[in-house]
Amino acid sequence: MSLWPQLRESRLVRAGRASGAVLRCGLMDTMLADLAVSVVLCYEQTLDEDRLAAGLARALERVPVFAGRLRTEAGALIAVCDDSGVPMDSYEVDGTLAEAMGRVGAAGAQLVDPVDAPAARTGGAPLLTVRITRPAAGGTVLGCSWHHAVGDLHSFMLLLRAWSAAVEGEELPAAELVEDQDALLDEVLPAEDCGRPGFRLPGPIEAAALAREVAAGPRANRTVQIHFGDGELARMRERFTAEAGRRLSTGDALCAHVVHTVRELDGDTEARGLTVPVNVRRPLGLPPALVGNLLSEIHLTQRPEAGPAALAAELRTAVEEFTAEHLNLRSNLGFLEALGRDRLGACVPLGFDPQRKRFSFSNWSRFGAYRVAFQGRGPVFFSPTANYPLPWVSWTVEGFYGTGLLTTVVLPARLAARLRGAEGRAALHRFRDAADRLPEVAAAVPKVL
């Protein structure tokens, strides 16, 4: 596939009217305000770009914050729904859709235009970009990047569902903006939570080391994608359930399997931290239409000698006891009050600790990505892109055509190469059977293990 896409058209998509809403970003929004999130959706058909632009304009009426801009007032981050717009660029490239899918995890894949998150904090850049790529052999790659301060994946999926509904001529789903997220949480959070804030203030030496890790990321790390079929996932879950002696979800089993196998291939026998982000809308009884970063996390310790089934069982217990044992949003607010908002920028999430090889496992499945239909058909492939190649970070979504699960993991280059080798593939797919039938398109994307 050509590395030099040819720009065909640029446009700025606006709703056509500004809602005028001014949203005070919450603590989690602000903690994530130097990050962008980028994803691609791949469609086998050639999409009508005028219909896409018109549909996005309607969706931005429903979720206007994505077309807005950020600013800072009295030390607080503010999102202004001023309808400044979303840039949408269209490109043509040589090659096939399968070749494009194989490049999703590669640095410089040129399938998205990553939002410049630091520039956007001061209003100097958009909060959402859209890049449409047409491979010469057919199909469409829809690359989207959004500013993390605007919202989590749940929030972005609200926009995608509204966009799809607008293009398909269906009723748009509900979306609800929050004027002051911290005030909202103060009303619904229990008086006490786990007592452990979800971020820390590193000392000067650690802060410098973390900065070097971020700077070296593109050179030192590589992205690996692994597709697990439905059959092997069922066998994996069955085995771990029997060993643990309790009910487990497929997500529990896969998280434990991936983390344990990566450690095994790394020859790492130390106890290591594991962070699993949690969408708190359902645990807190909040409406699913809320836009924002309504996230907390589970923190566990993985001990390799205990085996993956034990880790899966610990994760299941943590999910069941989340509100009582792991919820930390009130502790976060208390930490901020004691620290001072002006020092928040010097803090880092507990989940970001590459020196200690802390693994972060985000489960993005069951968010409905494969139901985002345009012109009557959903995507053949949905995936995050590694625009921030920081090690020990992973995301799991449904695989090709919404079957099985696809795990994207960023690792140090040598370890990534080990996963790609014969030993790594065998270890990762130890639950696969020779008779398992995978989607045909999987064979056309050899870079996905």
pLDDT tens per residue across span 222-260:
999 999 999 999 999 999 999 999 999 999 999 999 999
Contact indicator for 14, 87 with CB cutoff of 8 Å: no
* Residue 375 maps to a domain: no
Residues 178, 199: one domain?
Answer: no
How many domains is the chain built from?
2
- Residue 1's pLDDT is 44
Residues 216, 168: one domain?
Answer: no
Q: Note down the domain range covering 270.
A: 190-365+389-443
Question: C-alpha 424: how far from its chain's center?
Answer: 24
Q: Is the pLDDT of residue 125 over 80?
A: yes
Domain boundary residue among 185, 219, 250?
Answer: 185
Residues 358, 209: one domain?
Answer: yes
Residues 301, 268: one domain?
Answer: yes
Domain boundary residue among 185, 219, 243?
Answer: 185
The CA distance from 241 to 312, in Å, is 9
Give the CATH number, domain containing residue 205.
3.30.559.10
- Residue 3's pLDDT is 54
Residues 40, 160: one domain?
Answer: yes
How many CA atoms lie within 13 Å of 56's alpha carbon, on the beta-carbon side?
26
The CA distance from 229 to 194, in Å, is 36
pTM: 0.95
For 258-278, the pLDDT digits (tens) are: 999 999 999 999 999 999 999
* Residue 377 maps to a domain: no
Residues 159, 31: one domain?
Answer: yes
Helix pair angle (230-244, 308-320), 10° resolution:
80
Which residues have CB under 8 Å from 411's CB, separation 6+? 221, 222, 224, 262, 391, 392, 419
Domain boundary residue among 127, 151, 185?
Answer: 185
Residues 147, 217: one domain?
Answer: no
Q: Is the pLDDT of residue 367 over 80?
A: yes
* Residue 342 maps to a domain: yes
* Residue 373 maps to a domain: no
Residues 206, 171: one domain?
Answer: no
